Amino acid sequence: MESFKSMRDFMEVLDREGELVRISCAVDKDWEISTIARQMCFSYKLDQRPALLFENIRGFSMPLLLNETATPKRAAMALGIFVDDPAERRKLMREKFWRAYENRVSPKLVEKAPCKENILMGDEVDLTRLLPVPIWTPGKDAGPYITAGGTVSRDPETGEQSIGNYRLQLKGKNKLGIYAGDGQDTFYHWRKAFALNKPLPVAVVIGPPPTVLFPQIYRVPFDELSIAGGFDGKPLPVAKCETSDLLVPAYAEIVIEGEIPPNVFEEEGPFGEAFGVISPQRPRPIINVKAVTFRHNPIYHAFMSSYVPGTASATRASIKPYFVYNTLRMAGVPEIRDIYLPEAATGTQILIVSIKKMWAFHPRHVMFAIWGSKASHDCKFIIVTDEDVNIRDPFELNRAIFMNVNPARDVVIIEGGSWTIDPSVGMSTEQRATTATKMGIDATRPYKYDIALPEEEHFRKVKERWSEYGIKPLERILEILF
Ligand SMILES: Cc1cc2nc3c(=O)[nH]c(=O)nc-3n(C[C@H](O)[C@H](O)[C@H](O)COP(=O)(O)O)c2cc1C
């Protein structure tokens, strides 16, 4: 099956499959949506959390969709992979993500784009009345924040277009504050435009097809829209903006068009960050909104960025392993077996990789390829294990670390380059006495040792006679590997 061509088509299937909960009672967008979503995340394991559709938001006719791709199962469904067995699903996802990189397809301009079914220009635009933008950390955030907006912009020098998910503070009926962190594509674009004293045209895409959403939230080294086409080997239908030459997904729910005026900075924040703490207010660029276009009966899509667990961390944990796999494959690092990013570290900051170790510094090759990439240079902890360790199981991981790691030899620490929102070093200038450091742990076996267990033959015989011993039936908690 192919990936879904729009967010609403995907949502319909989630509904049919019992993966979506429709919340039809009236809710308040400024405290209740975020608190319901947090309570839900705290109450269920990642795999058990449903997608939520808030259908009745006080003062708004637009519904809000959350958490739709935030389990490995639903992330795969979004790409047309309906497979229950996790190992098989992971294999198919790996293949699909690699195909998306290898067989990229340029987007195709279409005449009839659903995202243009409604067009509001200039003074007709009032985002505060149109969009049900929640406050995510009530009482602490500066105001409502658009959290799943894919900002499209072009490099003023090369003309290359990019889309990235940056938070946008709703500052008024036609004004947004934007935070594109150091090293992000739109960060480079506005810096170059400001140096030329020129405005930077932007478009904010809300509710894109999942094939766009995935590369939108990850730093990919290619044009995200060509990767979207690569998933199924078909060009992504796109439309040209009303006020610029930017291209946006034709099946997006909502598109906000505007520009970043040169050398204008206004206070942005405070905001409850993905790393779990409130970041202080800072002067940042703004977007002056010129137009909004949207489908009939549009769906407002959001992420909850928060102290984990949350919906953004769960989405990242569900899809990032495949992007990391692509990064390692492109860097030529062989024999990668499994990749896991626990949600507890936002699905980005602890990365565990198992490999079939071929040579002594193979694990370090993994670490430096990841840290050297555009995609994951910000990863704080990388742990590399042998292929026989189930890296999703804390017991097996802890055992590998304690048995194999000689800290003075097997730990690599490097300085700098982490997120400015990392709470371990302090987020304000006054708090930042140190820079963030990163750690790699080589937890592979340093030499071939003899494991202290009875022979395999003995276990086989005991299993055959198990019922005679009168102990309750065997369960498969840990594999015994010989
Ligand atoms: C919910 C969510 C919110 C995010 N917010 C920001 C943000 O405010 N600023 C930022 O620089 N990156 C943010 N990111 C990370 C970027 O979306 C990600 O690094 C993306 O790949 C950047 O796009 P680029 O590759 O075009 O630079 C966020 C990611 C998610 C999933």
Domain ranges of the chain: 7-302, 311-442
Q: Which atom of ligand 1 is nearest to the CA of 167?
A: 8
Q: Which atom of ligand 1 is nearest to the CA of 217?
A: 17
Distance 217 CA to ligand 1 centre (A): 5
At 478 the pLDDT is 79
CB atoms within 10 A of CB 455: 9
Give me the helices (H) in 375-455, please: 394-404, 407-410
CB of 167 closer than 6 angstroms to any ligand 1 atom = yes
Is pLDDT of 418 > 70?
no
Q: Which single residue is written with the structure tokens 């199962």?
A: 73
Mean of pLDDT values over 403-431: 85
Mean of pLDDT values over 457-475: 96
- Residues 13 and 4: their CA atoms lie apart, in Å, by 10
Is pLDDT of 28 > 90?
yes
CB of 313 closer than 6 angstroms to any ligand 1 atom = no
CB of 147 closer than 6 angstroms to any ligand 1 atom = yes
* φ, ψ dihedrals at 117, nearest 5°: -60, -30
CB of 164 closer than 6 angstroms to any ligand 1 atom = yes
Q: Which atom of ligand 1 is nearest to the CA of 374?
A: 25
Distance 126 CA to ligand 1 centre (A): 25
Is pLDDT of 67 > 70?
yes
CB atoms within 10 A of CB 411: 13
CB of 179 closer than 6 angstroms to any ligand 1 atom = yes
Strand partners, 439: 381, 413
Average pLDDT value for the chain:
96
Span 156-195, pLDDT tens digits:
999 999 999 999 999 999 999 999 998 899 999 999 999 9
Is pLDDT of 482 > 70?
no
CB of 162 closer than 6 angstroms to any ligand 1 atom = yes
At 54 the pLDDT is 98
- Kindly state which CATH superfamily the domain 7-302 is placed in: Electron Transport, Fmn-binding Protein; Chain A (2.30.110.10)
Q: Which atom of ligand 1 is nearest to the CA of 185?
A: 27
Q: At what angle do helices 32-43 and 311-330 cross, to 10 degrees?
A: 70
At 83 the pLDDT is 96
- Give, for ligand 1, the residue of 69, 101, 166, 246 to mutate: max count of ligand atoms closer than 8 Å to Cβ: 166
Angle at 325 between CA 334 and CA 385, to 5 degrees: 65
Span 294-308, pLDDT tens digits:
999 999 999 997 899
CB of 4 closer than 6 angstroms to any ligand 1 atom = no
CB 284 within 8 A of CB 268: yes
CB 273 within 8 A of CB 310: no
Angle at 444 between CA 441 and CA 450, to 5 degrees: 145
HEC string of 287-311 equals: EEEEEEEECCCCCEEECCCCCCCCH
Span 447-462, pLDDT tens digits:
999 999 999 999 999 9
Distance 283 CA to ligand 1 centre (A): 18
Q: Which atom of ligand 1 is nearest to the CA of 165?
A: 17
* φ, ψ dihedrals at 410, nearest 5°: -105, 5
Span 338-395, pLDDT tens digits:
999 999 999 999 999 999 999 999 999 999 999 999 889 989 999 999 999 999 999 9
- Cis ω on the peptide bond leading into residue 144 (within 30° of 0)? no
Span 124-134, pLDDT tens digits:
999 999 999 99
Q: Does domain 311-442 have CATH number 3.40.1670.10?
A: yes
Q: Which atom of ligand 1 is nearest to the CA of 183?
A: 27
- Smallest Cα–Cα separation from 67: which of 267, 268, 313? 313
Q: Which atom of ligand 1 is nearest to the CA of 220?
A: 25
Mean of pLDDT values over 61-85: 98
- Give, for ligand 1, the residue of 137, 141, 167 to mutate: max count of ligand atoms closer than 8 Å to Cβ: 167
Structural tokens at position 95: 């293949």
- Give, for ligand 1, the residue of 165, 169, 226, 421 to mutate: max count of ligand atoms closer than 8 Å to Cβ: 165
Span 244-303, pLDDT tens digits:
999 999 999 999 999 999 999 999 999 999 999 999 999 999 999 999 999 999 999 999
CB of 181 closer than 6 angstroms to any ligand 1 atom = yes
Query: pLDDT grade, residue 432 (50/70/90)?
Result: low
Strand partners, 10: none
| % of the chain surpassing 90 pLDDT | 91
Sign of the C-alpha dihedral, residues 28, 214, 217, 234?
Answer: negative
Determine which residue's CA is closest to atom 17 belonging to ligand 1: 165
At 333 the pLDDT is 98
Q: Which atom of ligand 1 is nearest to the CA of 164?
A: 23
Q: What one-character DSSP code corresponds to residue 40?
A: H
